[in-house]
Structure 1
Amino acid sequence: MELSRQLARYSLELSYEDLPEEVVSFTKLCILDYFGSAISGSDKKPVQMVSELVNEMGGHEQAKLFTGGKSSAINAALVNGAASHVMELDDIHKGSIIHAATVVIPAALAIAEWKELSGKELITAVVAGYEVCFRIGEAVSPSHYYYWHNTATCGTFGAVTAAGKLLGLSEDELVNALGNAGSQAAGLWEFIVDGAMTKQLHTGKAAMNGTMAALLAQKGFTGPKKILEGDRGFFNAMSEEHDVSRITENLGQEFKILENSFKIHASCRHTHHAVDLLIDIFKEQHPALEDIESVEVDSYQVALNITDDADPQTEYAAKFSLQFCSALALLNGRASLEDFNGDKLWDEGVRSLIKKVNVQVDPAIDGSYPKQWGAAVSVLLKDGEKIHKQTDFPKGDPENAVTPEELLEKFMGMATKLPTQQRQALAESLMDLESTENISDLMAAL
């Protein structure tokens, strides 16, 4: 049986009643976290550009835009996918290297609102979408990740799965939809060199393309049946090494959404391990800049591929600089949304400390990636004292989990565009999402 058919059959057969209470509760946290990021990112320049384009092009008012107003379901997936990724605080799955919320949830929300579906149906579709894109991401990682942005490429499969399930596609239709979603899977890392706005286009288009592929399949539009394993399919074309067994291993016996991680620092996830450790050192010893001789950061090769930048020139580039984030954490004891601004970017103290930060690959840490996103830091003081710390799991990983209360606090801090009472009411609705009869009522709260 084709891999797409196995994933389609699993996704369509999955029901809300199949979901353990733990999975339902965790999925609601993923959706809450998405809403915080999307609300917070809705007024950022790249997102506003996408929203302006959508409004200029027009579209039937089917689903709410986080930037305001309504448009077609496809346009809503595009805008809302872009909005939730720009803050660099959306969720992440280690094994697949995918920020699933920013591609799966906007596609699911757009269809669920348009078709006036329930919270239970939305939750189930999100679980299925995460399951599919995580498995595909695991199959091609880490080789795929060097050139390709997994969230954009593999995430497209999650978006089409969630949208297709909510549309009630047949098995054949969802196989077609997966094929056409895979044919649209794209997203190259080259944007990181000059800090271009492309990353927001990646997630918006992944959500949009998945939604479009599902809607076309509903009309009978066919797609390749072996888009994953075919000779000229996704695996062979876009990865040097792939493990087909990851697609079906324990499929239906586990819920991979429970492996999802949450971010608490407003930077690339590949910086979080070092940031955690250096914040701990700040809290314990408060080393002064003039007392620091050097900072060593050991990590895995992929972290350096993405974040080895000793001279970031923009606020966004700073989020992808392991050197900047390390210096920021050690001097300020945090790396929050408020810390990535023009003042901090050119702060003399941070810039001075960046010159003392050396990043390198540790073979042992590299060998554990991507199961573990680890790091070790050593801060050498001028008096000869050496402070060393190491972690295998950044804060927010399941092995180093945040609490629901911490995620609620994060949401309240990110959704400040809404009045406090409105924020609290929205959070309560999301935490009781299974009781929502019509997703359009939930979206009206925006």
Structure 2
Amino acid sequence: MSLSKRLAEYVVETTYDDIPGEVVAFTKLCILDYFSSAIAGKDTPPIRKVEEMVEMLGGNEQASLINGGKSSVTNAALLNGAASHIVEQDDIHKSSIIHAATVVIPAALAIGESKKLDGKDLITAVVIGYEVCFRIGEAVSPSHYYYWHNTATCGTFGSAAATAKLLDLSVEQTVHALGSAGTQAAGLWEFIEDGAMSKQLHPGKAAMNGVIAGLLAEKDFSAASKILEGRRGFFEAMSDEYDADKITNGLGREFKIMENSFKVHASCRHTHHAMDLVSDFAREENLDPDEVEKIEVGTYAVAINITDNDDPQTVYQGKFSLQYCTALALVKQNGNLDTFTEENLWDEEIRHMMNKVTIFTDEAVDHAYPGKWGANVDIHLKNGETVTLTTEYPKGDPENHVTEDDLYEKFMVLAKAIDKSQAEEVAANILSLENADDLSSLFPYNVTVK
């Protein structure tokens, strides 16, 4: 049996009744967290550009847009996916290195709303989409991640799986959907060299491509039946080494969505370990930045590859600079969205502190990656004292979890672009999603405030 067929059987056979209550509750938090980032990102310049393109493309009004109004299911998946990935507060799965919400949920929302499906259908599709993309990401990581943006590549399979479930495709049709997803999977890390807007295109296009794959499969449009393990398939083409067993081990017996992590700081997840440590220390000790002689951050090699930038020139580049994020977190004692500003980017105190930050690969920490995204931080003070701080799990990991109240508060902060009463109603609708019969009520401009 091909891996695609095994995954397809899982997609077809899994029902809402198979999902334990705690998984349902957690999935609703993932959806709430998705809307936090999407609402916060909807008015940013890159997303406005995508919105303008969507308006130019036109299309039947099938699904809601995060900015208001409706468009085709493909356009909705594209825009709503792109919007949720720009403020750098979307969820992340450590082992697969995937931001699943930004890909799976926009695709599921678009198809679910257009088909007039309900909250239970959406929850089921999201659980399935996360499961499929996490497993594929785990199979090809970490080698795949050097050139390829896992959220874009592996995420495409997740959006296709969620779409296939909501379209009620057969096993054979779902195999075709996965095949069409895999052949569209793309997203290169080169954008990071320029801080380019391609990063927002990646999840939007992955969500859109998954929808396209499912809709074509519904019409019995054929695709590769062994898109993963085939000799010219995804594994061979896009990873130096892979573990195909990770696709099927425990499939149907566990729920990988429960391994999902949430982001506290508004920056690349590979900066969060150091930000947690230095912000907590600075806050607890009421540390004067002038007391610091230097800071040494030892972490895993991937974090260095992605975030080694000692002179960021834009706010967005700052979010991908471990040196800057460490300095910002120490001086400002947090890393929330409001701290990543043009003013702080060029703040003399933060820039001076950034020059004191040295980063390097710590072999022990690197060996534990990607199971643990840790760091060891030494803060050398001018009085001769050295403070050593360490973490294996950033805040928001399952091992260092945040609460429902934390995520609700995060939503209300990030949703400040809309009316507070609207935000409260959207959150209430999401947190009672299993009772919803109209998915459009999850979008802020569709809610009727009670």
Offset of 1:166 from its aligned partner? 0.2
8 Å contact from structure 2 (residues 289, 330) kept in 1:
no
Aligned to 1:417: 417
Q: Spell out, residue by residue over 1:349-375, the C-alpha distance to the aligned partner (whole angstroms, 9 max, x if none).
A: 011011110000100000000000000
Within 5 A, what are the aligned runs for 1:79-228?
A: 79-228=79-228
1:112 partner letter: G
Q: Secondary structure at the match of 2:189?
A: coil
Aligned to 1:43: 43
Offset of 1:397 from its aligned partner? 0.2
Q: Give distance in 2, aligned partners of 1:358 and 1:58.
A: 50
Q: Give distance in 2, aligned partners of 1:253 and 1:28.
A: 20
Q: Give distance in 2, aligned partners of 1:300 and 1:445.
A: 44
Q: Give distance in 2, aligned partners of 1:325 and 1:442.
A: 33
Q: TM-score by structure 1 length?
A: 0.99
- Consecutive unaligned residues of structure 1, counting only runs of 5 or more, are none
8 Å contact from structure 2 (residues 429, 441) kept in 1:
no
Q: Give distance in 1, aligned partners of 2:233 and 2:311.
A: 39
Q: Secondary structure at the match of 2:379?
A: strand
8 Å contact from structure 1 (residues 309, 322) kept in 2:
yes
Q: Spell out, residue by residue over 1:396-437, the C-alpha distance to the aligned partner (whole angstroms, 9 max, x if none).
A: 000000000000000000111221111111111100000001
Q: Spell out, residue by residue over 1:250-272, the C-alpha distance to the aligned partner (whole angstroms, 9 max, x if none).
A: 11110000000000100000000
Q: Give distance in 2, aligned partners of 1:410 and 1:442.
A: 17
Q: Give distance in 2, aligned partners of 1:439 and 1:81.
A: 16
8 Å contact from structure 1 (residues 48, 67) kept in 2:
no
Q: Give distance in 2, aligned partners of 1:445 and 1:305.
A: 43
Aligned to 2:30: 30
Q: Spell out, residue by residue over 1:281-318, the C-alpha distance to the aligned partner (whole angstroms, 9 max, x if none).
A: 11122332322110000000000000010000000000
Aligned length: 446
Q: Secondary structure at the match of 2:335?
A: coil
Within 5 A, what are the aligned runs for 1:48-63?
A: 48-63=48-63
Q: TM-score by structure 2 length?
A: 0.98
Q: Spell out, residue by residue over 1:2-56, the C-alpha distance to the aligned partner (whole angstroms, 9 max, x if none).
A: 0011001101111000000010000000000001111110001111101100101
2:66 partner letter: F
Aligned to 2:408: 408
8 Å contact from structure 2 (residues 108, 159) kept in 1:
yes
8 Å contact from structure 1 (residues 131, 158) kept in 2:
yes
8 Å contact from structure 1 (residues 436, 442) kept in 2:
no
Offset of 1:227 from its aligned partner? 0.3
Q: Give distance in 2, aligned partners of 1:425 and 1:410.
A: 15
Aligned to 2:447: 445
Q: Secondary structure at the match of 1:89?
A: coil
8 Å contact from structure 2 (residues 90, 263) kept in 1:
yes
Q: Give distance in 1, aligned partners of 2:184 and 2:159.
A: 12
2:138 partner letter: E
8 Å contact from structure 1 (residues 394, 400) kept in 2:
yes
Aligned to 1:269: 269
Q: Give distance in 2, aligned partners of 1:97 and 1:325.
A: 20
Q: Secondary structure at the match of 1:190?
A: helix
Aligned to 2:433: 433
Give % identity: 60
Q: Secondary structure at the match of 2:311?
A: coil
Q: Give distance in 2, aligned partners of 1:45 and 1:181.
A: 29
Q: Is 2:270 the partner of 1:304?
A: no
8 Å contact from structure 1 (residues 300, 366) kept in 2:
yes
8 Å contact from structure 1 (residues 308, 322) kept in 2:
yes
Aligned to 2:70: 70
Q: Is 2:372 the partner of 1:363?
A: no
Q: Secondary structure at the match of 2:294?
A: strand
- Consecutive unaligned residues of structure 2, counting only runs of 5 or more, are none
8 Å contact from structure 2 (residues 426, 441) kept in 1:
no
Q: Spell out, residue by residue over 1:119-170, the C-alpha distance to the aligned partner (whole angstroms, 9 max, x if none).
A: 0000000000000000000000000000000000000000000011101111
Q: Give distance in 2, aligned partners of 1:369 and 1:287.
A: 31
2:430 partner letter: L
